[in-house]
Amino acid sequence: MRNELHAVVLKELRQTFRDRRMLMLLVVAPVLQLTLLGYAVNMDVEHVATVVTDEDHSPASRALVRGMLADPTLRLRGAASDPVARVVEGSASVAVVVPRGFGARLTRGRPVQVQVLVDGTDTVQAQAAIDATTRFLQREALGLYAAQRWAAAGATAAEPSAPLASAPLASVPRVSAEPRLLYNPRLRSATYMVPGVAATVLLVITSIITAMSIARERELGTIEQLMVTPIRPSTLLLGKILPFAMIGLVVAGLVLAVGIHLFDVPVRGSPLLLLLGTALYLLNTLGTGVFISTMARTQQQAILGSFFFIMPAILLSGFMSPIANMPGWAQWLTAFNPVRYYIEVLRACLLKGAGFFDLGQPLAALAVLGGGILTLASLRFRKRTA
C-alpha cells in the first residue's frame, strides 16, 4: 500500500505543479487575496462627509460645530442651506443643523436640540457618525451642567477661585470610566478581521481545488484507468488528498506570515496549536471538496457546488458579524460549520494566547466534523468508483 500511495501522491503533485495556472491559484492567489481583503475589510470609520447648517450664527453655535468636527470621524464638506437635499443627493452622509436661538436658549439655561441627519444606507458608517455626535453632545451637556453649578456657586467654570472652595455646590460629582482594552488596545479592525480572512481564503482554495482535481480526472477518464490498476479506492482517495493537505499547510503558513508581518497581527499562542487547528480544519475543507466532487460530473459543476457550500459557511462563521446576533435557527446551523471553529481557534490563539485546554471545544468540533465529512466523502467516492 505504501508504494501505491507514494505513486499516487507523486503523480498528483507532478500533475498539480505542471499546470502553471493551478500553481498560481494555489500559492499566489491566497497571498494576494489576504493582502487585498486585509486592507479592504476595514471597520474603522473616519472622515465621514459632513455638512453644517448654522441657523443661529452665534459664538455658541460656532463653538459647537468646531468641537463636533474636531472628532476625526466627521469631515466638514462645507455649509448647506438645504441639508436634507445634500444627504439625499449623496454629497454628504451627515448633516448637522443648529437651530435659530441656540445660543440664546443656552444663555438662559433652557434645553436645546441639535438635529443630526445621517444617511443610513451604510449602517457601519451611520452608527459611527451617531456615536461620534452623541459622545460629543454628552460631553458638552456635562460641561454646561458643571458651568451652571459653578455659576450657582457664584463664579464661572473658567475661574475656579477661592470662594468656590467653600461653596457647597462648588464641586460637581462626576463618574468617569477609564477603559482598558485587552488583546487589541488600538481596536484595529485588521487585527480582528485578518484571522477570519485567512480561514476564508484557505476554505476557498483547498475545497475548490480538491473538488476540481477529482472532477477533472472523471472528465478526462483517467480515474477509470486508475481504478483498473491494483490501487484500492481508499489508497487512491488518500493519495489525492495528501498532496492538497500538504499544499494547504504551506498556504496557511504563507497567509499567516502575510497577516503577521503586513498587518501586525500578534502571535501570542503556541505555533504547534495553530498547526493542529489548521490540520483539523483542512480535514474539513478537503473532505468537503471530495464530497462535492462525488456529486459533480464536470469541473464547472464542482466549482458551482463549492460556492454553494462556501458562501453560507462564510456568512455563518462569525467572520463579519457576531454569531450571538444571529437568529436562533442560524446559531443552530453554525454548530455544524467548521469555519466558525477555525476562526475561534485563530483569534483565541493569535490574539489571546489561548492554550490547548482553552480551545478544547472548537478543536474537538473540528475533529468530529472533519472525521464525519471525510468518512461520508470516502463512502461516496468508493461507491462512485466501484
Tens digit of each residue's pLDDT (9 = 90 or more) over 1-29: 677 777 777 777 777 777 776 667 777 77
How is residue 252 written as a grid cell?
Answer: 496557511
Instruction: Report the pLDDT averaged over residues 199-205.
Output: 88
307 CB contacts (<8 Å, ≥6 apart)? none
Tens digit of each residue's pLDDT (9 = 90 or more) over 88-130: 888 888 898 988 888 888 788 788 888 888 887 776 778 888 8
Tens digit of each residue's pLDDT (9 = 90 or more) over 223-270: 767 767 777 777 878 888 888 888 888 888 888 888 888 888 888 889
| CA 110 to the chain's CA centroid | 45
Q: Is the pLDDT of residue 276 over 80?
A: yes
202 CB contacts (<8 Å, ≥6 apart)? 30, 248, 251, 252, 255, 278, 281, 282, 285, 342
How is residue 42 written as a grid cell?
Answer: 476595514
188 Rama class: left (phi>0) / alpha (psi -120 to 50) / beta? beta
**Distance (Å, rounded) from C-alpha 49 to C-alpha 135?**
18
Q: What is the pTM of this model?
A: 0.72
Tens digit of each residue's pLDDT (9 = 90 or more) over 320-378: 777 887 888 888 999 999 999 999 999 999 988 888 888 999 999 999 999 999 899 88
Tens digit of each residue's pLDDT (9 = 90 or more) over 336-349: 999 999 999 999 99
Instruction: Report the pLDDT averaged over residues 31-37.
Output: 74
Tens digit of each residue's pLDDT (9 = 90 or more) over 175-187: 555 666 678 777 7
CB 290 within 8 A of CB 304: no
**280: pLDDT confidence band, cut at 50, 70 and 90?**
very high
pLDDT of residue 283: 92
